[in-house]
A and B are shown apart, each in its own frame.
Chain A
Amino acid sequence: MIPAAFDYYRPTDMAGVLALLQQHGDDARVMAGGHSLIPMMKLRMAEVPHLIDLQDVAGLDQISLSAEEITLGAMVTQHTIINHPDLVQAAPILREAALQIADPQVRYMGTIGGNVANGDPGNDMPGLMQCLDAKLTLVGPEGERQVAARDYYEAAYMTDRADDEVLVAITMPVPQGGFAYEKQKRKIGDYATAAAAVQIGKADGKVATASVAMTNLSDVPVWSEAANAALVGTECAPEAVKAAVAAMLGDIDPSEDNRGPVAFKRHVAGVVLTRAINRAWSRA
């Protein structure tokens, strides 16, 4: 498998990246770790005459932590997320999810920005970012703007990001309470048959806050307000969980693929979400 020829650029700052994007328009693509884009190029399903490698752009691999907020540069890799002690302490769900992405080698290269930016419904981080209410920082010719992860995804591979914008950082509040990332897949390296990200805050023995999102069960990640509402105020007993699952099942729209037919996916979505909620609650 051999990709078509392209011109390769490795700018050292965002100005350089933006200039190249301006110059080449649709013919240019930015690349982070490359593990989504390169296979597509090798299969000649993605034509990229001008490839802009972000690896030398200064500052994109920074992690900053405060008591309230976490900011991850777009080029922070899954491997770093898994092995960063302070980050793991602050948001253990990031590690739990990152460990279920691809395999060790791919995690050294795969970045959170690449995982989040392109709108691949199979990727794990978009659902998780919605669960955590992350804000995506995009830089473009008009300057910088922030978009909520919950507003970013429009359809498969269609996002709020314009072609001349680049995702540079992801900011999220430090998650509170119990967490779980539950994923069913066929084997290591596979996308989810169904995956659920759950974060639950607890006060006085009851669910104070709940945020529930699922992956690869629609052409976009699904953060279900109805599911959240079904949990808040309850003691997270089986009937509340059931109600949350029912709400989520109302919001997803899986399609058949090699992982199985729709009925199976809907069933597994319910099982995976139930387990995730129960585990998050047990940790809350």
Chain B
Amino acid sequence: MSDKMHIKLTVNGEGREFLAEPRELLIYALREHLNITGPHVGCDTSHCGACTVTLNGKSVKSCTMFVGQANGADITTVEGLGTPDALHVLQESFREHHGLQCGFCTPGMITRAAKLLEENPTPTEEDVRFGMAGNICRCTGYQNIVKSILAAADEMNGSEQGQTVEAAE
């Protein structure tokens, strides 16, 4: 076993510090040191995207990043996208359009979609399908996920409030 490192991260706007072995994967560090359990491990080999977080402005697969690599980074997970009282448009849209079933891929899906819409606020269906191709869903067949993201884009473009809508119901 190697020595533990002093890890400092900003996660969902909050400074977090802990000791970890450098080999610990970012996904486990988030889940086990910080109790941020939205991102999940699905495939272990960077194919499924269930572990997707935003790290320094990039969508990354946190199962394929050592916590040492992430040291110092600014990270956003699904938990940081909205609050129960002010959901992110995508969180609302996935519910509205039945963009999820078992929910296991959903945090990674929504986190990735948020970045996609940030970089391309007016995507076509093809843009969404290509831009979401790093995230696997076993339940929905993607049709309603694509619909949810396109609807969220419309909502965000039409909404004065920008990123959030009030959780109306």
A residues within 8 Å of B by Cβ? 1-8, 10, 31, 34-35, 38-39, 42, 51, 53, 55, 79, 102-106, 108-109, 188-189
Contact = CB atoms under 8 A, between A and B. Distances in A.
B5 A8 contact: yes
Contacts of A10: 68, 71
A103 B132 CA distance: 8
A4 B66 contact: no
Contacts of B5: 8
Q: Return the 5 tightest CB-CB contacts between A and B, nearest first.
A: A103-B134, A8-B22, A108-B58, A8-B68, A188-B133
Interface of B: 1-3, 5, 21-23, 25, 44-47, 49, 52, 58-61, 64-66, 68-69, 71, 112, 116, 130-134
Given A5-B21, A6-B2, A106 B133 contact: no
Given A104-B112, A106-B46, 4 more contacts: A7-B3, A8-B2, A38-B65, A106-B134
B110 to A, nearest CB: 14
A7 B68 CA distance: 10
Contact of A79 (B3, B58, B69): B58
Contacts of A189: 47, 133-134
B64 A35 contact: yes
A37 to B, nearest CB: 10
Nearest to B119: A83
Contacts of B130: 104
B134 A51 contact: no
5 contacts: A6-B23, A38-B64, A42-B45, A51-B68, A189-B134
B66 A7 contact: no
A31 B3 CA distance: 20
Contact of B61 (A2, A5, A51, A105): A105
Given A1-B44, A104-B59, A34 B69 contact: yes
A108 B66 contact: no
B120 to A, nearest CB: 11
Contact of B64 (A2, A4, A39, A188): A39
Contact of B58 (A2, A3, A109): A109
B69 A55 contact: yes
B45 A105 contact: no
Contacts of A109: 58, 60-61, 64-65
A105 B52 contact: yes
B1 A5 contact: yes
B141 to A, nearest CB: 15
B95 to A, nearest CB: 24
A53 B64 contact: no
A102 B58 CA distance: 15
